[in-house]
Amino acid sequence: MSGELLLEAVQAGIEFGGLRALHGFDLEIRRGDLKGLIGPNGAGKTTAFNLLTGVYVPTHGEIRVGGERVNGRKPHQINRLGLARTFQNIRLFRGLTALDNVRVACLSDERPVFSRERIDGVRRRSSGRSPVAQVMDALNNYVDWWRAILLTPGFQAEEDELTRRAEELLKVMGLSHRRDEEARNLPYGEQRRLEIARALGTRPKVLLLDEPAAGMNTREKGDLMVLIRQLRDQFSLGILVIEHDMKLVMGICEDITVLDHGVTIARGVPERVRQDPKVIEAYLGDSYLASQGLPVPPQAPTSETPVT
């Protein structure tokens, strides 16, 4: 398995004051990967997601999307490079219909005045912040609003295209019957699926799922496992899953990273990770290890350790 390298974290880390929430985090996601990120509560899993998606700016190391360094970029810019996520505590646009939730994400890539490629070209040539590119971008945006206000035929066609794409995604996620229902009125499992549909709307290359099975029953979890695999194949994505449910993670992930107190304590195929004493210790405590007659590993550095 060695698809195109899509997302990469190199020794990434972040400190909040003196607290090392995440330290020396390495990750590689290639096209077709299905990787897992596990760890006990407060291990830094969601922090890792927030670093990757640009919610936090890493204080150490580097995040690269498609080979491009994205430290300090805004979440929406990183999203546009092909990184989409779902949230641990569902964050749908509750007052919008299911269709509109997806349509918000289905942003049109057609720019009215200057094409995206052209702006990106200008940006690349000037290496970094380019006022020219910013002006071009601004002009695009304002013209785009005018097209909406004047309701030009081209704009109507684009809107229809967005709607069609959103409807397709709803169909893939089995939510077509909820098209015009407000997101807040959907049952829990469907809200989770709608969040995935919304993430897919942004045309991601990498999909980050933050505890997609939380609150689901066994049958729904089974369906979800099938669905996640299907999504990867259908959209040829790289997927990273945070999950508490061991059965689900072990069942679908080909590679698992285990975090504890912000530090990666194990990595590898599910069978190996499952037997790793450090992992067992992190999850079950060393009294369990001792009772099983297993060796107790040396203390892992904890997040409470002050940074010197």
Partner 1 sequence: MPAFLRGVVPVLIAIAVLAVLQLVLGGLPFFVYIASIVGVNVILAVSLNIVNGMTGQFSIGHAGFMAVGAYTAGKLSLLLKDVAISGLPGVVSDQVQFLGTLIAGGIAAAICGFLVGLPSLRLRGDYLAIVTLGFGEIIRVVVQNLEVFGRALGLSGIPQTSSFFAVWFCVFLVVLVARRIVGSTHGRSLWAIREDEVAAEAMGVDTTGYKVRAFVISSFFAGVAGGLFAHFVPIINPGSFTFVKSIEVVVMVVAGGLGSTTGAIVAAVVLTLLPEALRTLFLQLGGLDTGASLAQKVDQIRMPIYGILLVILMLVRPQGLFGTREIWDVLPRWIPRARKGIT
Write out the residues near partner 1 by the rule CB under 8 A.
53, 55, 74-76, 79-80, 84-85, 87, 91-97, 99-100, 103-105, 107-108, 141-142, 144-145, 148-153, 155-159, 162-163, 180, 198-199, 201-202
* Three-class DSSP category at 76: helix
In whole angstroms, how close is the CB of 175 to partner 1 at the nearest point? 16
Q: Please, which residue, 21 or 225, has the CB nearer to partner 1? A: 21
Q: Please, which residue, 20 or 85, has the CB nearer to partner 1? A: 85
* Three-class DSSP category at 154: helix
Q: Where are the beta strands (DSSP E) in 34-153?
A: 34-38, 60-65, 68-69, 83-85
In whole angstroms, how close is the CB of 129 to partner 1 at the nearest point? 15
d(CA 289, CA 295): 7
In Å, what is the CA distance from 242 to each residue of 80, 121, 224?
22, 36, 14
Q: Please, which residue, 191 or 264, has the CB nearer to partner 1? A: 191
Residue 301 DSSP code: P
Q: What is the DSSP string of 202-271?
A: T--SEEEEESTTTT--HHHHHHHHHHHHHHHHHHT-EEEEE-S-HHHHHHH-SEEEEEETTEEEEEE-HH
What is the number of alpha carbons within 13 Å of residue 180 lying toward its C-beta?
0
In whole angstroms, how close is the CB of 196 to partner 1 at the nearest point? 12
In whole angstroms, how close is the CB of 240 to partner 1 at the nearest point? 15
In whole angstroms, how close is the CB of 210 to partner 1 at the nearest point? 11
Q: Please, which residue, 104 or 289, has the CB nearer to partner 1? A: 104
Q: Please, which residue, 157 or 269, has the CB nearer to partner 1? A: 157
Q: Please, which residue, 138 or 290, has the CB nearer to partner 1? A: 138
* Three-class DSSP category at 85: strand
In whole angstroms, how close is the CB of 42 to partner 1 at the nearest point? 20
Q: Please, which residue, 140 or 264, has the CB nearer to partner 1? A: 140
Rounded to the nearest 10 degrees, what angle do helices 188-201 and 153-172 cross at? 130
In whole angstroms, how close is the CB of 265 to partner 1 at the nearest point? 28
* Three-class DSSP category at 8: strand
